[in-house]
Amino acid sequence: MQAAILVFVFIISTSGLVYELIAGTTASYILGDSVAQFSIVIGLYLFAMGCGSFLTRYVTRNIPLIFIRVEVLVGIVGGSSGAILFVFAEHITSFRLLLYTLVLLTGVLVGFEIPLLMRLLKDRLKFEELVSRVLALDYIGALLAALIFPLILVPRLGLIRSGLLFGALNTITALACLKVFPLQNARLIKLEAGIVLVLQVTGAIYSERILNFAEVAFYSEPVVHARSSPYQRIVITARGEEIRLYLNGNLQFSSRDEYRYHEALIHPGLSAVVRPKHVLILGGGDGLAAREVLRYSSVQTITLVDLDSAVTDLFSTHQRLRSLNSASLTSSKMKIVHEDALVWLQNNTQKFDFIAIDFPDPANFSTGKLYTDTMYRLLLSAMSQDCIVALQSTSPFFAPRSFWIIENTVRSVGLFTVPYHAYVPSFGEWGFLLASRKPLFLQNSFPMGLKFASPRTLEQMLDFPQDMRSAETEVNRLNNQILVRVFEGEWGRANNQ
């Protein structure tokens, strides 16, 4: 009997941390800024657990019954929290209110569990043995949850199914407790818990349909492909001939006008390199930047470093996406590496003639580190003497201070820069930078067959109107990440206008 109860402790602790991680991950998917969201969620969750533990002092009777009912409630609230958050994200005025209410409620209920269970065990174990066993299993369960969540649960099961399955574990624990603590009204409790368990298992089986329902409301176009990787939620939508890629709900490109973005990213810099042979692309797992690079016959190798293999696999195998990137990812010149760009640069010994940086915007600290002076110093080691670097640098119109922070940070490591911009209908006015070890002289010749980039459009790209002109800014460093806070503020204001 003692062994069974200690197993309950292990399940309780594992489930509790899984619910916390689901809330934090869902918040970062929908709200962005993962560091802030996880910090707030963890703080509120721990606070609520403390409140729940404190409130158990007022439980003086029917402790087995209350513990079993709490287990069922934890399974209902915590287990369904992921599904609730995704389904209602686009249907309520304050997503944060719903998120934090669920976090607080789940935390209070989880805070009840261990104190009540310890009181149930106090007459069966010595105090010192009770505390050491319960707390040891509690911490071991938390470790297990922390390991399996990113490695197994998110990539293989997804957030909604993981939550419902762990909710089912809590409900099974409640049913098992009826064997250990017989109750007078056990039949009614078994019926209630049985109904909850059936609903949880059914929800887990149909979790993809639940998520698809939520995404139909979230996206204005039909979803044709959706997948969760260990790093992000990948969604492809299509309407007629137009295809769109979304990562964590943020638009990455539309096939209607992506050529403007990628031609602007690649050709002003690459056309200025004399017979480029070796090219490095950081990010760009969709293969669209690589498509533009392959227009240059002198290029012998392209090394593409992208963290998420789910993106490169999708754009290597999906027929419509392969057609969009001209099968660039399966070119014999292509070498694909799945690794964090910062880590890869630290170990790289090769020199490149041209480097294209196509990272997501610095909307959180995990991507913000890729725009720091630390990143650009590492980049120097990969640059040949005549290498030119091209990087996307967010919008100089909607986020001008962010744009010039990036430019200032690149210059801070000793590189010469040339800022430019291009109009992409899906995004508006978008900014780019060229960087090199010596002053740049751009060419007036581009490859044949381009739809947008030309010597004439290049002149327009280099001209900055007064509302996008340079300003004095800070340097974005790894230990302050000022860019993330500025970017969030500027885009927040732009989206509220």
Active-site residue list: 358
The CA-to-CA distance between both ends of the chain, in Å, stands at 62
Residues 284 and 317: their CA atoms lie apart, in Å, by 16
Q: Packing angle between helix 63-88 and helix 2-31, nearest 10 degrees? A: 20
Number of Cα atoms under 13 Å in the Cβ half of residue 58? 4
Residues 230 and 232: their CA atoms lie apart, in Å, by 6
Nearest to 468 by CA among 395, 418, 392, 363: 395
CB 120 within 8 A of CB 64: yes
Q: Apex CA 227: angle with CA 221 and CA 229, to 5°? A: 135
- Give CA separation, 200 vs 158, 164, 219, 260, 379, in Å: 15, 5, 26, 47, 49
Residues 411 and 232: their CA atoms lie apart, in Å, by 31
Residues 111 and 495: their CA atoms lie apart, in Å, by 38
* DSSP state letters, 369-385: GGGSHHHHHHHHTTEEE
Residues 274 and 272: their CA atoms lie apart, in Å, by 6
Residues 126 and 74: their CA atoms lie apart, in Å, by 28
**Burial class of residue 48 (count of CB atoms within 10 Å of its CB; 0-12, 13-18, 19+):** buried
For 417-451, b/e burial (b = at least 16 CB within 10 A) is bbbbbbbbebbebbbbbbbbbeeeebeeebbeeee
